[in-house]
Every structure is written in structure tokens, then in C-alpha cells.
Amino acid sequence: MGLKPSQPEDPAQAATRRHLLEAASEVFAEVGFRAATVREICQRAEANIAAVNYHFGDKEHLYRAVLKETCRTALEKYPADFGLPPKATPEQRLRAFVHSFLLRIFSQGPGSRHGKLMAREMVEPTGALDAIVKEDVGPMAAVLTSIVGDLLGSSADADKKRLCGMSVVSQVLFYHHCRPVVTRLFPTMKFDAAGIEQLAEHITQFSLAAFKEISKGKKK
């Protein structure tokens, strides 16, 4: 195991480290942790083969750093209340949540491999997932539960709110996770900014319709 640099805050030495993180996020997103090779990563980062071991200890610690970093930047770029007026209605908050979520997982390009990395993490969870669920997913779920609670009214119990929240989230994640099947089944579907906006609108309207009908039936 390589020695950790003694001054990790040194801005000068951080260049190679940053290049490695960026290159690694590319490769990990493209082919996954196992199939990714440190040789390929170092080549794209224009660094030496030993750079990964020197700066991160080993391949796995590099992966954990990548996953945490991409998660952080993605949530920073597309927060749950993305472009929302201060006193928004629950309907507006749901629409913003859905749209921001879609943009977050479909976002691509430098520093945006969050969606692909998380999808891989679902199929093959690593030890890094626990921290991410606790620190990032949990708060997100709380926000959604609050929105759903407002839409369902006080009649809904905690279980129902949880299930309804997942019914919303599931629709968002589906298009990303099942993209290989969706594109083969419906080749006309596009996932550019306009397509994602249409998707967000459908998911929002579908969910709002369900909430409306459910809260109506439950009211007494």
C-alpha cells in the first residue's frame, strides 16, 4: 500500500488527484468497478500506473472517493427545491422534486456520472452505499414524504405516505434504470431537456391524480 501524502490539503499536489478522480468517474460509470482497470484510469488522467496506489491507497478507496464526490456535486447542482419560489404550493414542490430528480440522474458530462454509478450500486452494492443512504438519500426521502403528506392530507398514515412516496420516485428512476428496454420498445422517446420536461410533467400529473383520488376516498 502506498504512503498517503502528508499534506492532503496542499493545492499544488491536488492536480493529479483531481485528474484521477475525474478519469475514474468516467471509467467506473462506463464499465463498472470490477471491469474498470487502473491502467485505463491512469492513462486517461495522464498519470502513472502507481498514481492510484500513491494517492488513494488502492482501487477500492479510489472508487469510494469517486462515488461520494459525484453524489455531492449532483445534489449540489440539482437540489430537491430546484428553482422554487419561497412560498410554493405542494403541487409546485412535487413538480420541482420530480424534475430536479430526473435532471440529476440523467445529467451527463464531466462531474456528472452520479446516475450511472448509483444504478450500478443498486445491482452490486458496495460498502460505500450505507453512508450515502444515510447522508443523502434519507434527507431526500424526508423532503418527499413531507410533500406527499401535504398532498394526501392528514388522513394518511406513515406507511401510506411512504408507499406513495416510493410510487413517485419509482416513476423517475424507471426511465433511467430501464433505458435499454425503453429505447428498444419505444425508439421515438428522447431524453434531452425537452423530453425530460415532458416526462416530469407526466409523472407529476399521474401522481397528483392518484393523490387527489386517494385523499378523496379516504376523507371522512
- 143 contact, one of DNA, a copy of itself, none, CB 5-8 Å limit per kind: none
| Residue 72 contacts residue 131 (beta carbons within 8 Å) | no
For residue 202, how many other CB atoms are within 10 A of its CB? 12
Q: How far is the CB of 114 from DNA (least distance, A)?
A: 22
Cα dihedral 119, 120, 122, 128 sign: negative
Q: Judged by CB under 8 A, does residue 153 bind a copy of itself?
A: no
Q: Judged by CB under 8 A, does residue 209 bind a copy of itself?
A: yes
- 23 contact, one of DNA, a copy of itself, none, CB 5-8 Å limit per kind: none
Residues in the chain, total: 220
- Please report, as a single letter, which amino acid is at residue 210: A
CA distances from 148 to 81, 136, 206 (A): 14, 19, 13
Find the part of the chain contacting a copy of itself (CB under 8 A) among 7-15, 74-82, 95-103, 212-220.
Answer: 212-220
| Torsions phi, psi for 11 (to 5 deg) | -65, -30
| Residue 115 contacts residue 179 (beta carbons within 8 Å) | no
Q: For DNA, what does the binding mask look like between residues 2 and 41, x meaning CB under 7 A?
A: xx-xxx--x-xx-xx-------------------xxxxx-
Q: How far is the CB of 60 from DNA (least distance, A)?
A: 6
Q: Judged by CB under 8 A, does residue 214 bind a copy of itself?
A: yes
| 3-class DSSP assignment, residue 86 | coil
- 185 contact, one of DNA, a copy of itself, none, CB 5-8 Å limit per kind: a copy of itself
Find, among 127, 215, 140, the residue nearest to 173 by Cα: 140
Interface ranges with a copy of itself (CB under 8 A)? 32, 34-35, 119-125, 129-130, 133-134, 137-138, 141, 162-164, 166-167, 169-171, 173-175, 177-182, 184-186, 202-203, 205-207, 209-214, 217
